[in-house]
Amino acid sequence: MAKGKSSGVDEYIAKCPKETQGQLAKIRAAIREAAPGTIERTDYFAWPGYSYPGYDYDGFFAWFSFKKPHVRLHVRPPVIQDHRKDLAGYATTKAIVSFPIDKPIPATLVKKLVKASVKVMKDKFACRTRARLR
């Protein structure tokens, strides 16, 4: 992200309850570490989202959000299903894992899920591109 340009993520975190801001900052840092060079923005769903331009779904592969009593990581399907053993004990949906606000953010797990989501996005795009070339 270019210096001096606001992505809206700082503002999103600042609007959340004080007791969750540290966890939101940790999930943000884990996403950025797992996906260097990503574009950070809040123009899709009004949640902090991460994208690489040039891919389908506007290049988005991860988001995070706060919904009491959880900090949530949103990734592309089938990442949650593919990592169900790692996610035992966490509330999940098809594309969301919810981390309780009273427990530390598992940064290593967040990075693993984000990397898997980037791979799903790139693989899907490559598949579609090959299909168009046939």
Strands (E) in 12-111, as ranges, are 39-41, 49-51, 60-67, 70-75, 91-92, 96-100
Write down the residue that tokens 């902090």 correspond to. Answer: 48
* pLDDT recorded at residue 6: 63
* pLDDT recorded at residue 4: 43
Q: Tens of pLDDT along 39-79?
A: 999 988 899 999 998 887 788 999 999 999 999 999 999 99
* pLDDT recorded at residue 133: 63
Q: Tens of pLDDT along 79-113?
A: 999 999 999 999 999 999 999 999 999 999 999 99
Buried b (16+ CB within 10 A) or exposed e, 17-30: eeebeebbebbbeb
* pLDDT recorded at residue 130: 60
CATH of domain 9-133: 3.90.1150.200
Q: Where are the domains of the chain?
A: 9-133
